[in-house]
């Protein structure tokens, strides 16, 4: 079967040229803003909030890395509902393995989400003066989260088709309308069926969201319970910080949910519009820039 509508007309918004140029400009714009954001975290964080400086910088670092990976380093031209892409980033120009590029994209996203959990866990750890058992277990818990994030790409690596030429033929059979905009040489098939990876993404990211909400709730409860230990100024700063973080951290989640929801609809309803793929993933690639701007406001 083909996912392309018989009346599908290619426009400039469908092309890799539009997509890559837009992302490259976005990446060039975001780098100085990320550098300024890092400067503010390191040198402008109030002394009363020094305990959160490292986790904030860690999150900011991974947000910036994901931004740069998707806009400049890899710049994947994704062809959902099939799990295939063209590469238009710096690594592809220098002939770096596309398998490695795939692993880099997925791993950096998941580590970024782990860094979100650590911000809320850190607030809970500092404010609540937590139980000795959690003090002993938290390092193992942190290591386990990072291990899961770094290893999330292993099943995908193992499932990458060895016979790329055969898989490419299947892609062009199912998406004949991409022939004018994607050359066989630029195409890389990540998997023959995307369903498993949609389910995997839902499960892993649900675990991230659940942990984040859990520690956010514990932190709010701790502020109510142990807030008398803090000065009025520090307590006010902590509450303002939590509100700001809730707003700032919602951006990466929303920027991922929008593309994932669209990909799921494409897969479930069996349709394909590359222009909307491009727009959806431009939304995702802009998440770091938006997140940093919110932080600086």
Query: Mean pLDDT throughout 212-240?
Result: 71
In the chain, % of residues over pLDDT 70: 90
- Over residues 207-221, the pLDDT tens digits come to 888 888 888 888 777
Residue-level pLDDT at 232: 66
Q: Residue 227: pLDDT above 70?
A: no
Q: Residue 247: pLDDT above 80?
A: no
Domain borders along the chain are 12-296
Q: Which CATH number fits domain 12-296: 3.10.20.600, 2.40.160.20, 1.20.1070.10, 3.40.190.10?
A: 1.20.1070.10
* Position 268 confidence tier, pLDDT thresholds 50, 70, 90: confident
CA distances, 297 to each of 10, 40, 112, 227, 245 (Å): 40, 11, 21, 26, 12
Query: Mean pLDDT throughout 233-256?
Result: 70
- Over residues 42-77, the pLDDT tens digits come to 888 777 677 778 888 998 999 999 999 999 999 999
Mean pLDDT score of the chain? 83
Q: Residue 107: pLDDT above 80?
A: yes
Residue-level pLDDT at 72: 94
């Amino acid at each position: 079967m083909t996912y392309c509508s018989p009346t599908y007309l290619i426009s400039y918004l469908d092309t890799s040229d539009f997509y890559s140029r837009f992302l490259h400009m976005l990446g060039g714009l975001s780098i100085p803003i990320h550098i300024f954001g890092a400067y503010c975290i390191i040198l402008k964080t109030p002394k009363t909030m020094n305990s959160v400086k490292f986790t904030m910088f860690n999150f900011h670092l991974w947000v910036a890395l994901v931004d740069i990976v998707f806009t400049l380093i890899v710049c994947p031209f994704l062809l959902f509902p099939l799990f295939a892409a063209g590469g238009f980033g710096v690594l592809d120009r220098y002939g770096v393995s596309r398998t490695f590029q795939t692993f880099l994209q997925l791993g950096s996203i998941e580590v970024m989400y782990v860094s979100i959990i650590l911000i809320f866990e850190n607030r809970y750890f500092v404010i609540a003066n937590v139980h000795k058992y959690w003090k002993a277990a938290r390092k193992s818990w942190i290591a386990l989260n990072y291990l899961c994030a770094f290893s999330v790409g292993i099943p995908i690596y193992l499932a990458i088709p060895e016979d790329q030429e055969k898989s490419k033929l299947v892609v062009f059979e199912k998406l004949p309308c991409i022939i004018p905009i994607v050359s066989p040489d630029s195409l890389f098939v990540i998997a023959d069926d995307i369903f498993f990876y949609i389910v995997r993404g839902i499960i892993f990211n649900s675990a991230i969201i659940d942990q984040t909400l859990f520690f956010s709730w514990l932190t709010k409860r701790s502020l109510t319970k142990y807030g008398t230990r803090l000065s009025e100024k520090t307590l006010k700063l902590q509450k303002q910080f939590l509100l700001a973080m809730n707003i700032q951290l919602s951006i990466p989640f929303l920027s991922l949910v929008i593309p994932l929801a669209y990909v799921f609809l494409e897969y479930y309803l069996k349709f394909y519009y590359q222009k909307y793929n491009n727009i959806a993933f431009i939304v995702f690639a802009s998440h770091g820039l938006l997140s940093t701007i919110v932080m600086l406001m």
